[in-house]
Amino acid sequence: MPDTYPAIDFGVSDDNQLIIDSLSGFAAEQLRPNLRAFETARAVAPEVAATFAEMGFERLQLLEDLGGAGLGMLTRVLANLTLARADAGAALALDRLGPALYALQELGGAAAVEQYALPLLDKPSARAVLVIDHADRRAKAGDSIHGVVAWAPTDRADLVVGLGPGGGWVLEGPGLAEPVRGAALHAAGASRIEFGGRIAAAWQGEAGAARALAKARLHAASLMLGVMEDAAAFSRDYAQGRVAFGQPIAHHQGLAFLIVDMFNAVAQGRLLVEDAARRIDRGADATQAAAAAFVECVEASRFVGPNGVQILGGHGFMRDYPVEKAMRDVRALGLLAGGIHRAQDEAASHPDALIAAFEGA
Amino acid sequence: MELSLSPELREQVLAAREWGRAEVRPAGLEADRAAAPLPPEHPYFQRFIASGRARARAEASEGPEGRMVRAVVLGEEGAYWDRGMGVATPGAGLPSGAVSASGTAEQKEHFLGRFRDLKEPRWASFALTEPGGGSDTAAFRTRAQRTDRGWVLNGAKCFIGNAKRADWLLVQATLDPSKGRAGQRSFFVEKGTPGFTGVRVEKKMGLRAYESVSFSLEDCEIPAEHILGGETRKERAEGSGASAYGATMGALNSARVGVAASALGIARAALDEARRFAGESGAVRHPRIRDQIERVVRKLRAARLATLHAGWLVDQRRGNIVESSMAKILSAEVAQEAGMLGMEIVGLEAGAGDELIEKLFRDAKALNIVEGTGQIQRVIMARQLVGLPR
C-alpha cells in the first residue's frame, strides 16, 4: 500500500489552467477562423505553426533536461482537447512529434528522445509518424523492414517510429509520404506512408510498449473529445436559435433529450480519458483504463458525430457549417492508435481487474 | 485498487463490506423471499444498533475526502449488499438533512434528538410523492390550513419509504395551490396522529426490504409549531418570494447523487454475479459475452466517475444540477443493463428465480424511477443546457 493517497480530485491545477487558457486563446484567434482555409491548403499556415512552437507547446511533454516542460499525460489530454475543439487537423499538424514521442520515451528513454525527436523539432515542418505494428517483430538494429500505412494524417514522414506489442523501433531514414485524398483532418495533410530500409534502433519490452500504446490511445481519444465537445456545443447553440413549429427546435423534447444524451456521451468519454491520464501520471498501470477510454470515445463518436449533423438538418450536410467536418474528423481519429478492435480486446482482457472496484490494495 | 481511497475511508468501506456480507445481504434476501420488509422487531435491527454502526455513521470523522464523496463511496458499497436494507436502516434518514438545514432549534432537539444515540430501532420518513403527482413535485395537492389550534392536513401520499414504522414523517404540503411552488412547506406528523390513515404497505417487484407506503391525511391536526422552520420563516419566505420548494430541490440535488451511488452498488453486484457465472461456465471466453461484459464494466466506471464528480462538486460548494442528473441517469441505466446482462449470462438458472441475479435484476429497475425518473433527469438537464421552458 502506498504511504500517500492522491485524494479523489477532479480539479484542474493552476499550471494546467494556464496552459488551457493560452491554448484556448491561440486556437480561437489562429485556428478556428482558418478552419476551412487550412483544410483546403492541407496545411496549417507556417506563421501559425511558428507561433505555436514559440509558445513552447511543441515541447510540453519533453523532459525539462531536454528543453521541454516535463508535463504529464493529463496536461496533454487537456491541451489536445482544447486544440481539437477548434480544429483537430491543425492540432495534429502542430504537434509534430505526436504519439511517436511515447514509443521513444517509454522504450528508448531520454537518450532516444534526444537522439531522434529533438533533431526533428529543429527542422521546420518535419513530422514524425507512429506506425502501430500488430505483429511482434522482436526487431534488432540493423534489420531490414518494409511496410505501408494506407493513411496517416501528415504530409511528411521525416521520422518513422514503430510500436508493436513487444517493443518498438526507429527507421534509419525517412518514410515516403505520397499524398492521398484523405477522408478528414486535412489540415494535418493526408498521405500513404511507405517505409523501408534499416532499423536504426530497436527496443524490447512489453510493459514499455503497453505504456506507449496507452498514451497513444489517450492522445487520439482526447482529440476525439475536443471534436465531439465542439460538435455537441455547436449543434446545441444552433438548436436554441433555430425556430420551427413556433419554438426553438431545442425545446421539442425529441431534440432536447438527444442533446442531453450527446452531452452525456461526451462526458463519459472525458471522465474515462481524464481518469486514465491521471493513473498514468501517478505511475499506475493504465493499460486497461486507456484502452477502455479509447473504446468509449469511439462509441461516443458514432453517436455524437452523425447527430451533430442531424440537429442542423440539411444545413448540417453543407460545408458552410463545421459539423460535417466534425463528423468526418472524429470518425477518422478513431481509426488511429491501432483502432477500436484491438483496444476492445485489451479493455476486455482483464475482467478481474475490471470489477475489483474498491478491492485489493 | 480502482480508486485511491484514504486509509480512513478505506477502513470504513471494509467495515461496511464485512457487515454487508455477514448481515445485510442475508437480511435483504430474507425480505425478498418473504416479499415483505423485515418487521421492526426483527433481530437484524437489534444487531444493527448493537453493532454501533448507527453511531459510527453519525460520528464518521472527516477524512481527506469530502462529505459527499465519502457518501458516494460508502453508498455504493452499502447498496452492493442490499439497497433495500439500506433504505430500511434505522435512523432519521432522508428528512434529517432538511431538518438540520431548516429546522428551528426546538425542532432539531425534539425530532432529531431521539436519533442521536439509538438504543432501539427508530425511523423517520420523508413524504413528498403523491398518487397523481409522480415526479412533478411542484404539483402537490396535499393541503395545509391554519386553524386556531394549529394546522390541518388533507391529502394523500404514495411510495413513501418507512412511513408505517416511522416515529414521525416530514410531509410536504401546500398552503395555497394558486401560488405553485412558493406555497409549499414541510410539516411534522407524528406517529399515531388522528387523521393519518389508510396506511398501506405496497407490494413491489423489487427492493422489498423496505416499506413503500401509501397513506391519506384526513383532517389530520398537528400543532402550530410543527411547520418546518417555524411560522416566521413562512412570512419571510412569502415576503421575499423565496420558497421551501427551492430548499427541497436543493436537498434533492444531493439525494440524486446518493441514489446514483446506490445504483452503482447494484450494478457492481449484478456484474459480479454475471462475471462469476461467465467464468464458471466458460462463457467469458466467448468474444460476444466478453465484449458485453467489457461494455457494462466501462459504463459502470464512467457512471462511478460521474457520480463521484457530482459529489465532489457538492463538497467544493459548487453547483451540480447538470452533473447530479447525469450521474443519476448513467448509474441507473448501467444498473439496469448489468441486471439484464446478468440474467442473460446466468440463463435459465436465472429464469428459475432462485439466483441473486434475478433479485438484482428486479431491484435495479427502481433506480431509474425513484428520485426523478431518467426522463425527468433529462428534462432537468435540458433546462440547464438549452433553456427548456418549465
* CB-based burial label for A238 (10 Å; 0-12, 13-18, 19+): buried
Higher pLDDT, B327 or A360: B327
Going by DSSP bridges, is the β-strand pair B184-190/B168-174 parallel, antiparallel, or unpaired? Answer: antiparallel
Mean pLDDT of A173-197: 97
Query: Residue A351: its pLDDT value, please?
Result: 53
Between positions 34 and 73 of B, the ones with CB within 8 A of A are 64-65, 69, 73
Contact B3/A8, CB-based, under 8 Å? yes
Query: Residue B250: its pLDDT value, please?
Result: 61
Nearest to B5 among A5, A10, A269 (CB): A5
B7 in A contact zone (CB under 8 Å): yes
B22 in A contact zone (CB under 8 Å): no
Query: Residue A207: its pLDDT value, please?
Result: 96
Query: Residue A360: its pLDDT value, please?
Result: 34
Where chain B has pLDDT below 70, the residues are 1-3, 55-62, 134-135, 137, 233-253
Residue A169 phi, psi dihedral angles, 5° rounding:
-150, 165
Tens-digit pLDDT profile for residues B206-225 = 999 999 999 999 999 999 99
Mean pLDDT of A216-245: 98
Residue B216 phi, psi dihedral angles, 5° rounding:
-115, 155
Mean pLDDT of A147-169: 97
Query: Residue A4: its pLDDT value, please?
Result: 47
A348 in B contact zone (CB under 8 Å): yes
Query: Residue B142: its pLDDT value, please?
Result: 95
- Average pLDDT over all residues of chain A: 93
Given a cut of 60, whether residue A81 has pLDDT beyond it is yes
Nearest to B1 among A248, A344, A358 (CB): A358
Query: Residue A2: its pLDDT value, please?
Result: 39
* CB-facing half-sphere around the CA of A162: CA atoms within 13 A: 38
Given a cut of 60, whether residue A271 has pLDDT beyond it is yes
Contact B302/A268, CB-based, under 8 Å? yes
Query: Residue A247: its pLDDT value, please?
Result: 97
Chain A residue with CA closest to B389: the answer is A251
Q: How far is A127 from chain B (nearest CA, A)?
A: 34
Q: Which residues pair with B198 in a beta bridge?
A: none
Pick from B3, B272, B293, B294 the residue to mutate for testing the A interface (most A CBs within 10 Å): B294
Q: How far is A349 from chain B (nearest CA, A)?
A: 8
Beta-carbon pairs below 8 A across chains A and B: 136
Tens-digit pLDDT profile for residues A2-37 = 344 556 789 899 999 999 999 999 999 999 999 999
Query: Residue B248: its pLDDT value, please?
Result: 57
A275 in B contact zone (CB under 8 Å): yes
Q: How far is A85 from chain B (nearest CA, A)?
A: 18
DSSP-assigned states of every residue in B32-66: HHHTSPPPTT-HHHHHHHHTTHHHHHHHPPP-SS-
Mean pLDDT of A333-339: 97
Are A94 and A58 in contact by the 8 Å Cβ rule? The answer is yes
Residue B104 phi, psi dihedral angles, 5° rounding:
-75, 165
